[in-house]
Amino acid sequence: MIPSITEAQFNTALGNLLQAMLPQFPAGQIIVGQVNRTSSPLGDYVVWWPLRRHRLGTDVETPVDAVFTGTITPIDSNTATLNITAVNPNFTGQIIVGSQIFSVDAVLGTTVTALGTGTGGIGTYVVTPSQTVASETMAAGSIGFDQATEIVTQIEVHGPNSGDNAQVVQQLFRSDFATTAMAGTGITPLFCEVPRQVPFITAAQQYEERWIIDAHFDFAPFVQIPQEFAGAATVNVESVTATFP
């Protein structure tokens, strides 16, 4: 399982934001750090590094179940086709890649590995392992976890114009410009700390001008795990003194 907002998606959103702030920078002058065998660009450039992630609150848990009628037929020795023919409208869950299928006869751990004609409800899906299950009631319950998170990134502005470029970044960061530029990504810029000048020593032992800005963002990654729910409960009355003398 992976979070709904991945590190790659965050890096793409941040890269696009910095490019919007510094449109004069050509391609390859705004890069993510910690990439091996990559030389530093010449002239003015920006590189950023992930620093830390702070939990801002307790997870919000959302249980949801999907109940449906389906069959499973083998494709080969490893995979099978899940064919959903009817969906119980009283449950709002959707079938996605990674969903685990629960039923009386399905093998424990049966997992959806690819979509066929189905996109969450009626249709076909590829599952593993290979098996045969006649038409019966099945379920694909899950629990989702939302965690409000603050992610801090170190933005390094290099080059002869780094002071001016750092001023632009920090000035636009806490503004409607930055919020609008990241709209739709699930990531919101919060604030950035004051730029500080920290010289960068090159491989040739030369000092290069560099300004560092710690930028804070808010996002709420969603993680979903499979969960089997009870379809019915049987209640028995037991005599405590007789059962536990």
Which pair of structure tokens corresponds to residue 91? 């449950």
Owner of token pair 């660009």: 41
- CATH number of the structural domain spanning residue 212: 3.30.70.1700
Measured in degrees and rounded to the nearest 5, phi and psi for residue 241 equal: -70, -30
Q: Do both 75 and 187 map to the same domain?
A: no
Q: Do both 80 and 96 map to the same domain?
A: yes
Distances (CA, A) of 50 to 92, 110, 156, 164: 37, 36, 11, 23
The residue-averaged pLDDT of 79-100 equals 95
Question: Is 145 within 8 Å of 222 (Cβ atoms)?
Answer: yes
Neighbours of 176 (CB within 10 A): 8
Nearest by Cα to 170 from 216, 223, 130, 138: 216
Q: Do both 37 and 23 map to the same domain?
A: yes
DSSP string for 48-78:
EEEEEEEE-SPPEEEEE--EEEEEEEESSSS
Q: Do both 50 and 154 map to the same domain?
A: yes
pLDDT at 34: 79
Percentage above 90 pLDDT, the chain? 82
Q: Do both 165 and 203 map to the same domain?
A: yes
Q: Do both 161 and 128 map to the same domain?
A: no
Q: Do both 212 and 109 map to the same domain?
A: no
pLDDT at 151 over 60: yes
Q: Do both 89 and 119 map to the same domain?
A: yes
Measured in degrees and rounded to the nearest 5, phi and psi for residue 51 equal: -110, -60
Q: Write out the residue range of the structural domain in which residue 124 sits.
A: 66-140
Q: Do both 78 and 51 map to the same domain?
A: no
Q: How many residues does the chain have?
A: 245
Predicted confidence (pLDDT) per residue in 220-245, tens digit: 999 999 999 987 888 988 888 888 88
Q: Is 239 inside a domain boundary?
A: no
pLDDT at 204 over 60: no
Q: Is 16 inside a domain boundary?
A: yes
Which of residues 91, 111, 140 is at a domain's end? Answer: 140
Predicted confidence (pLDDT) per residue in 33-87, tens digit: 876 666 778 889 999 999 999 999 999 999 999 999 999 999 999 999 999 999 9
Q: Is 245 inside a domain boundary?
A: no
Question: Is 124 within 8 Å of 107 (Cβ atoms)?
Answer: no
pLDDT at 37: 64
Which of residues 123, 140, 157 is at a domain's end? Answer: 140
Q: Is 226 inside a domain boundary?
A: no
Q: Do both 117 and 161 map to the same domain?
A: no
Owner of token pair 């632009």: 168
Residues near 112 by beta carbon (within 8 Å), at least 6 away in sequence: 82, 95, 96, 97, 98, 99, 100, 101, 125, 126, 127, 140
pLDDT at 212 over 90: yes
| Domains: count for the chain | 2
pLDDT at 206: 67
* 203 CA to centre of own chain: 36
Nearest by Cα to 146 from 13, 53, 57: 57
Between CA 119 and CA 137 the distance in angstroms is 19
Which of residues 140, 159, 187 is at a domain's end? Answer: 140
Q: Is 227 inside a domain boundary?
A: no
Q: Is 204 inside a domain boundary?
A: yes
Q: Is 170 inside a domain boundary?
A: yes
Predicted confidence (pLDDT) per residue in 164-199, tens digit: 999 999 999 999 999 999 999 999 999 999 999 987
pLDDT at 242: 85
Q: Do both 21 and 135 map to the same domain?
A: no
For the chain, the average pLDDT equals 93
Distances (CA, A) of 232 to 106, 128, 138: 19, 27, 14
Q: Is 119 inside a domain boundary?
A: yes
Q: Do both 150 and 216 map to the same domain?
A: yes
